[in-house]
Amino acid sequence: MKKITRLLFLAVAFMFTAFSMAQSTVSGTIMDAEMNAPLPGANIVEKGTTNGVSSDFDGNFTITTQSTSGEVVISFVGYGKVTMSFNGNTNLGKVTLSPDNTLEEVVIIGSGVIDLAEDRKTPVAVSTIRAAEIQEKAGNWDLPEVLKSTPSVQNIKAGGFGDGQMFLRGFDQTNTAFLLNGQPINGMEDGKMYWSNWSGVMDVANAIQVQRGLGASKLAISSVGGTVNIVTKTIDNKPGGFVQQMVGNDNYIKSTAYFSTGVGEKGWSFSGLLGHWQGDGYVDYTKGQGQTYFFSVGYQPNEKHSLNFLLTGAPQWHVAAGSGSIGSFLDSERGRRNNSWYSEGVNSPNNVAPGIYPGGRNIYHKPVANLSWDWTINEKSELSTVLYGSMGRGAFASSKISDGSGYVRGSYNNHNWYGLVTNYNNKLNDNLEFNIGADIRSYNGIHFRGINEFVGSQTSLDRSSSYSGSYTITETYGGIDPWGMLFNPNTEHNQRLDRDYEEVITYYGVFGQLEYSKDKFSAFFQGALSNQDHQREEFFFTQNPGQSEKSEKVSNIGYNLKVGAAYELSDMHKVFVNAGYYSRQPFHDDLFLNTRNSNDLINPEVDNQEITGLEAGYQFNGGRAISANLNVYHTIWDNRTLLSNNGEDQDTPAFEGYQTQGVKQVHSGIELEVMTRPFENLSLNGFLSLGDWKHEGTATKRTFDNNGNEIGTATEINIDGFNVGGAAQVTAGINGSFEFCKNTSIDGAWNWYNDMHSTGDPEQAKISLPSYDTVDAGFSYKMEVGKKGTSSVQFRLNVNNVFDEVYLESVNGTLQASANPEENYKGVNKKNTGRFGYGRTWNTSIRFNF
């Protein structure tokens, strides 16, 4: 009996020893990559088993595995999974998890010229929107709508598709630099952004970063309000794609398909996207439709070289919405949906519906192509270069019809735009890093009027000009199709009317940055020097028939200097301060008496704008639970030029244009942004922006008639103390998301706008507008399908302005409130021109990811 007992005991001991020998202990600490803080509650599972544990409050974990070697999968809701190998007892050390679609997970080609804030240790005031949020919340909106829940940003929708504007720290789009993969996309002539031309950018965006104020950009550009970096898809590490169908209010439909091969064994990768959208528009008779296309070819011959060719475009047309007096909206049966430009019965052979040209129809196609090359020279140095080009064609078309006959006139604005951006980076030692680069651009703007189509019985039009003499226009170009605009442009000067000129703008600059970091201290210095040439060629209003006339070439030198430093007080606290000075060249449109029909330069000539910026910040990193950013800024924008008119048609004798030089604006403010994650499935964020934006001193105002002739003499006007209009100086918001069960969440955002003022005559005090707030909401559901969840189906619902708030979005005018209350709306005279914001809108989509 004792022998049997001993045998059994030895057998059990042997089995236990054998089992113990087949196990291992794996330990480590899970960290949040963004906040560099412990991540409690993360899941650690031995791959191929159900054996798992969770990290403790300090992010630590220990798991006893069922085998001596293998892999553990580490995951957390809202973060990308990480797979780690083990062999025997293993301490993995610190394992960092990144939120889904962080920039670290985005493959960026040409990264050296895409100035993202996280590439520099010295901070700036910045907010980053990642692909997952863009995908969910963009819906049928343009980029500014997605950015409105970041500090000091306001979006004005303005009526038709793609006609919105974005304000950043009170500066409009002409004074915010927009970059697409490092390529500047603001208009070279006036700095403007037309979102209808970039309606497809949301479909291909991997991330969008808003750098407020001085920013981190090294390019030889001088942004006043800040810089918006749009990073698109290029190379995907893994094969896959998606198809998506979206519907929305007012018959909006959008279909999109994307596929990527991933990087093959030989280093090649291909990806492409096609999309189509159409809708009637929230405002009456603002129908629109367009396409999006994106094609990318990548090649990585070895670890040192990465190349990528990208082509993207968004051909579209949309009918514009006219603004009218506030009273005209209130008195209309359609209210804020009213389109004051709509004309009954305007028809043409190609029209899909009456009123297709109610007051104007934008028709544009501006494809962009770029070739990027990243070269890792050695461990310490690398070179990034982007060569790009854009061939834009399009027009603003309006009808000239009487008794059913006439023509549709297009005001064409075409361009040929080429550029090169290159940047060399060298790590001089462990503490010092050096950048130097070049930014070269060549822009040819082609502007004229032509016939899009004849209507009714009219088939020709007799015209005359000093360039071509008397001639007859018989040809039509482009029609109402943006593809027709691109492939059938009007290149004959004797088939144009009223306006025909071109300009050539060349820009070449160099830039550099030196950054020092040691222990808890970092500092940087940036500098840029550039030259900009302008020349205008007139074809219509000339002295000698058959000969064009060129203006004098104007050259302006510009430069900017930026310096900053940061100090890490502890793991949780960091402070920084940045300062900068820009000498920015005037826009092309600021240089000439009338850019539409005159080669004459303003006399005295327009000098460079002068921008001085000072900002400081504090960053608090409280781990996963809470983090916060506090920024203060003071920006002086001096010697700017304002262009305006009396609102009359440019072809009528009553038209007057105004140019005001020497305008000075001072923008100061405080921004607070708080991000919290009180529970694993709940995030709650908020912001508050307090601004004080005013004009200072005096300016010089000139007046011109519709032929570009100066009327009278220049006058000095007083603008001291007048508020800067257009955007709310005080904004606040709260947004959050809650995952109430696996892969199912709701989210919402409240935004408040206060201390708003009208735009208009710079020599008159602005009108104070009523404050307003809006609430947006969303619902998401994701269902995993296929083997091991390799595919998924996503459902998304967005509802904007949930409570159908009625609010004045913008006002252009200086008429003060009337003594008769019935002539006012919330304290604003109804005779002022304005526009109401959209009411409740919605969109919903279903997306299959594979």
Provide the pLDDT for residue 417.
Answer: 95
Q: With the CA atoms of 239, 242, 243 and 249 taken in that order, what torsion angle do they form, in degrees rounded to the nearest 10?
A: -160
Q: Confidence band (pLDDT; 50, 70, 90) for 229?
A: confident
Q: Which residue has the tokens 């009396």?
A: 646
Provide the pLDDT for residue 20.
Answer: 44
Provide the pLDDT for residue 339.
Answer: 83
Q: Go through the chain and tell me how many residues it has.
A: 850
The residue extents of the domains of the chain are: 15-97, 240-849
Is the pLDDT score of 532 beyond 50? yes
pLDDT in tens, 698-744: 999 988 887 777 888 889 999 999 999 999 999 999 999 999 888 89
More confident residue, 81 or 415: 415
Q: Is 818 helix (H, G, I), strand (E, B) or coil?
A: coil
Provide the pLDDT for residue 10.
Answer: 45
Is the pLDDT score of 232 beyond 60? yes
Provide the pLDDT for residue 7.
Answer: 46
* Integer Cα distance of 324 and 339 in angstroms: 8
Ramachandran area for residue 481 (φ above 0: left; ψ -120 to 50: alpha; else beta): beta
Is the pLDDT score of 278 beyond 90? yes
pLDDT in tens, 414-436: 999 999 999 999 999 989 999 99
* Integer Cα distance of 752 and 733 in angstroms: 6
* Integer Cα distance of 215 and 221 in angstroms: 11
Q: What element of type H or E holds 574?
A: strand 573-584
Provide the pLDDT for residue 107.
Answer: 55
Provide the pLDDT for residue 614.
Answer: 95
Is the pLDDT score of 122 beyond 70? yes
* Integer Cα distance of 693 and 634 in angstroms: 10
Which stretch of 220-234, 376-390, 720-734, 772-786 has the lowest confidence by average pLDDT?
220-234
Provide the pLDDT for residue 16.
Answer: 41
Positive/negative CA dihedral, 62, 67, 69, 74? negative
pLDDT in tens, 629-656: 999 999 999 998 888 877 766 667 777 8
Q: What number does CATH give the domain 240-849?
A: 2.40.170.20
* Token representation of residue 257: 């398909």
Which stretch of 14-23, 764-773, 824-833 has the lowest confidence by average pLDDT?
14-23
Cis peptide before 604 (omega within 30 of 0): yes
Is this prediction's pTM over 0.85? no
* Token representation of residue 378: 């050695």
Is the pLDDT score of 264 beyond 80? yes
* Integer Cα distance of 614 and 233 in angstroms: 34
Q: With the CA atoms of 221, 412, 365 and 219 taken in that order, what torsion angle do they form, in degrees rounded to the nearest 10?
A: -10
Provide the pLDDT for residue 237.
Answer: 66
Provide the pLDDT for residue 347.
Answer: 42
- pLDDT mean over 646-672: 84
Is the pLDDT score of 696 beyond 90? yes
Query: 79 near 47, Cβ under 8 Å?
Result: no
Provide the pLDDT for residue 592.
Answer: 84
Provide the pLDDT for residue 542.
Answer: 87
Q: How many degrees, rounded to 5, is the angle at CA 269 between CA 266 and CA 270?
A: 145
Query: 704 near 670, Cβ under 8 Å?
Result: no
Provide the pLDDT for residue 345.
Answer: 41
More confident residue, 357 or 613: 613
More confident residue, 712 or 573: 573
Is the pLDDT score of 817 beyond 60? yes
pLDDT in tens, 824-833: 999 999 999 9
* Integer Cα distance of 157 and 542 in angstroms: 40
Is the pLDDT score of 787 beyond 90? no
* Integer Cα distance of 438 and 401 in angstroms: 51
Is the pLDDT score of 399 beyond 90? no
pLDDT in tens, 432-480: 999 999 999 999 999 999 998 888 888 999 988 888 888 999 988 877 7
Q: Which residue has the tokens 């929107």?
A: 129
Is the pLDDT score of 52 beyond 90? no
Mean of all residue pLDDT scores within the chain: 85
Provide the pLDDT for residue 145.
Answer: 87
* Rounded percentage of the chain residues whose pLDDT exceeds 90: 45
Q: With the CA atoms of 322, 328, 334 and 336 taken in that order, what torsion angle do they form, in degrees rounded to the nearest 10?
A: 60
Q: What element of type H or E holds 290?
A: strand 288-302
Provide the pLDDT for residue 353.
Answer: 39
Provide the pLDDT for residue 36.
Answer: 63
Q: Which residues are registered as beta bridge partners of 616?
A: 577, 632
Q: Confidence band (pLDDT; 50, 70, 90) for 116?
A: confident
Q: Confidence band (pLDDT; 50, 70, 90) for 168?
A: very high
* Rounded percentage of the chain residues whose pLDDT exceeds 70: 90
- pLDDT mean over 486-515: 90
More confident residue, 820 or 99: 820
* Integer Cα distance of 832 and 571 in angstroms: 54
Provide the pLDDT for residue 350.
Answer: 41
Q: Where are the alpha helices (DSSP H) in 300-417?
A: 326-331
Provide the pLDDT for residue 18.
Answer: 42
* Integer Cα distance of 528 and 587 in angstroms: 18
List, as one string, the DSSP characters of 732-795: EEEEEEEEEETTEEEEEEEEEEESEE-B--TTSPPPEEPPEEEEEEEEEEEEEESGGG-EEEEE
Query: 414 near 390, Cβ under 8 Å?
Result: no
pLDDT in tens, 575-622: 999 999 999 999 988 888 777 777 888 877 889 999 999 999 999 988
pLDDT in tens, 789-801: 678 899 999 999 9
Which stretch of 229-238, 527-536, 712-721 has the lowest confidence by average pLDDT?
229-238
More confident residue, 623 or 828: 828
Pick the CATH number of 15-97 from 1.10.760.10, 3.40.50.980, 1.20.120.1200, 2.60.40.10: 2.60.40.10
Q: Which among 252-261, 321-330, 782-791 has the top mean pLDDT?
A: 252-261
Q: Which among 28-32, 387-391, 467-471 has the top mean pLDDT?
A: 387-391
